[in-house]
Structure 1
Amino acid sequence: MTPSRSEFLTVRGLRTHVRHWGRDGAPKLFMLHGWMDVGASFQFVVDHLEGDWHVIAPDWRGFGLTERSGADTYWFPDYLADLEALLLHYQPEGQVDLVGHSMGGNIAGIYAGVRPARIRRFVNLEGFGLKSAVPEDAPGRYATWLDQLQAPPEMRGYPTLQAVAARLQKTNPRLTDERAAFLAGHWSARNAAGEWEILGDPVHKRASPLPYHADDIMACWRRITAPVLWVEAADTNMWLWLGGREAGRLEVDRRMTNLADVTAKMLPDAGHMLHHDQPAMLAALLDDFLGRGR
């Protein structure tokens, strides 16, 4: 495996973990993980990159080794502010290359529209977004949030790292034993009870009281001036969050029309965690689209 190194810095008051691969001084490539994932999750893709890159992959607040917020709710705009702080720290001037998976793709897509002059290339890995909320959903959404505040959320404990790896393979049967073992070691840590617990703040499991307005996100996407590489997995389950496969396909295609300069690719034999399932194919797409380290 390509060796990596860890760094901790304070980002907007939280001790934040950042994983690095590659040569200092090489062109920087920022990789942003999804919900309940960690920056180390990009290891398999990095292993196949042929370009000369300095890959920088933070753990978002409340995930991995980054400090938890201590609040009872995580607010999505904080991720945008965290991303800007990280970019200002590592590349205060010039344009940046962003790769975002799932939630990370959502964050990067909004940011690319809010700060279009800062983005050279943007790669969206299944960062489709969610089904758009309607006003009638509001009472139930607020009630769910209030109800969930009454009981502290918990993460399940696992007796061994092997049990964590088995849980990952249950979710994604494409994971080899080797990859599952690697991910388990970065995805979990021993808790006070001696069990292995997922490195994600259980508060993330709570429903958000804020609606997801797709039209607001599309307004940001329409302001993106950078070329966009849009990568989907042939066997994704993301349709579950978009109203089903048929309606979801139509909505994803509609959302893509808001990107002025987009190249769409489909990875075969891959699920939503496509960076685990087809890392070599994905790395080749990244090298070609981003310019193999320019």
Structure 2
Amino acid sequence: MLRTLATFSGLLLLALAARAAAITVPATTDQDPALPSLTANGYRFHAESFGDTGKPVLIVLHGGPGGDYRYLLGLQALSDVRRVVFYDQRGSGLSPRVPAETISVEGYLDDLDAIVNQVSPGRPIDLLGHSWGAMLASAYTGRHPDKVRRLVLAEPGFLDKDTMEAAMGGGWPGWAVVGGMARAWLSQWRVDSGGDPHARRDWLIGQMMTLFQAGATCDGRVPALEGWRAGGAVYDAMIGRMGDDPAFAARLSFRRGVEAFAGPVLLMTGGCSPRMGEAQQRRHMVHFRNARLVNLPDAGHALFNDQPEAAMREVRRFLDAQP
């Protein structure tokens, strides 16, 4: 009886909290024309660039699927040696929403190629990706090895079906995560959609994506990563479809063609990242002709946020190295 009463009381408190102040989500570039943007492949991406246009270009690819580049903005410090370009991938962050059925890896690679051709015509780029973004960076390099000069892969989750299981597995997430998920589920009804049919789902997926990071931090806490807005449809089109369609998941390959890339590759990992850490990245290394691995012992999966100075130092050393 007491346990039932305690459970009911907890749920009541959560329900009351869910009726608190409304939550708003930021507008996208099609809703707010004042946002910085870049139009490529017939689409208006939320995007920013830092550094002189005459410098070699470094394009940064954020994680997800369905994240945004806000948490990686510290990399703009590299603008003293590169023109650093950030963009929110199609359907993600502050870029316009699109139907889930139009989202694919191939489409994302086409988007990236259109951006490369626009910001660095006729000149190879440096490419840096984190997590999902690193998976896309690897896939793009395999497709266009002549368009990439140097490649930084910060904890790509998996590159093929052989490395997928290690990245996607996981045990009990812990009560803190479960409680956070319950609060997020209730709190989603506080989202003021303002007529935006994607707002509530985007907000909920953003909360869940952050909570899932708790198992890849040095202290086990949920990381305080800054983000604008998740892309719920993107997450559903990729992660959701992988769960529902094993054949689709088995066909995914982000390493096809990378053996043709002769340029240098830096793989980065955090010592507190169990599933996507050093062991996983060593599995990825074997597919590249000229790769080395750096392990940041006091960082988790969000290594550019956990150890920004150490991570930046390694990236600078890699970009400045002689061919």
TM-score, normalised relative to structure 2: 0.64
- Which residue of 2 is the match for residue 92 of structure 1? 121
- Which residue of 1 is the match for residue 313 of structure 2? 284
> May I ask how many residue pairs the two structures share in their alignment?
242
Name stretches of at least 5 consecutive residues in structure 1 with no aligned partner.
Answer: 135-153, 189-197, 240-244
Counterpart code for 2:257: C
SS at match of 2:260: coil
C-alpha spacing 1:260/1:9, structure 2 compared with 1 (3 Å): same
Give, in whole Å, the separation in 2 of the partners of 1:19 and 1:82. Answer: 16
Q: Which structure dedicates a bigger proportion of its chain to helix?
A: 2
Give, in whole Å, the separation in 1 of the partners of 2:74 and 2:218. Answer: 14
1:225 corresponds to 2:262: yes
Larger Rg computed on CA atoms: 2
1:42 corresponds to 2:80: no
The C-alpha deviation readout for 1:19-52, integer Å capped at 9, x for no partner, is 22233333321111111321222122334x4842
Give, in whole Å, the separation in 1 of the partners of 2:159 and 2:114. Answer: 26
Quote how far apart the aligned CAs of 1:131 are: 6.2
C-alpha spacing 1:74/1:65, structure 2 compared with 1 (3 Å): same
Quote how far apart the aligned CAs of 1:252 are: 4.2
* Mapping for residues 203-214 of structure 1, pairs under 5 Å: 203-205=234-236, 206-208=240-242, 209=245, 210-213=248-251
Counterpart code for 2:235: H
Counterpart code for 2:135: N
Quote how far apart the aligned CAs of 1:222 are: 1.2
- Which residue of 1 is the match for residue 287 of structure 2? 258
Quote how far apart the aligned CAs of 1:169 are: 7.9
Give, in whole Å, the separation in 1 of the partners of 2:104 and 2:319. Answer: 31
Quote how far apart the aligned CAs of 1:254 are: 3.5
Quote how far apart the aligned CAs of 1:282 are: 1.1
Counterpart code for 2:262: T
Give, in whole Å, the separation in 2 of the partners of 1:59 and 1:254. Answer: 28
Given candidates 206, 230, 238, the residue that maps to 1:199 is 230
The C-alpha deviation readout for 1:111-148, integer Å capped at 9, x for no partner, is 112211111100000114166179xxxxxxxxxxxxxx
1:109 corresponds to 2:138: yes
Give, in whole Å, the separation in 1 of the partners of 2:43 and 2:234. Answer: 16
- Which residue of 2 is the match for residue 23 of structure 1? 52
Quote how far apart the aligned CAs of 1:80 are: 0.7
Give, in whole Å, the separation in 2 of the partners of 1:159 and 1:257. Answer: 48
Quote how far apart the aligned CAs of 1:273 are: 1.1
Q: Which structure dedicates a bigger proportion of its chain to strand?
A: 1
C-alpha spacing 1:156/1:70, structure 2 compared with 1 (3 Å): farther
Give, in whole Å, the separation in 2 of the partners of 1:213 and 1:37. Answer: 23
Question: Superposition RMSD on alpha carbons, in Å?
Answer: 3.6
SS at match of 2:50: strand
TM-score, normalised relative to structure 1: 0.70
C-alpha spacing 1:293/1:100, structure 2 compared with 1 (3 Å): farther
* Mapping for residues 114-263 of structure 1, pairs under 5 Å: 114-129=143-158, 132=161, 157=188, 168=210, 171-172=213-214, 180=224, 183-184=225-226, 187-188=227-228, 198-205=229-236, 206-208=240-242, 209=245, 210-213=248-251, 216-239=253-276, 249=279, 252-263=281-292
- Which residue of 1 is the match for residue 179 of structure 2? none
Name stretches of at least 5 consecutive residues in structure 2 with no aligned partner.
Answer: 1-33, 164-184, 192-205
SS at match of 1:46: helix
The C-alpha deviation readout for 1:84-124, integer Å capped at 9, x for no partner, is 01001111111110001111111111111221111110000
Counterpart code for 1:43: L
Quote how far apart the aligned CAs of 1:202 are: 3.7
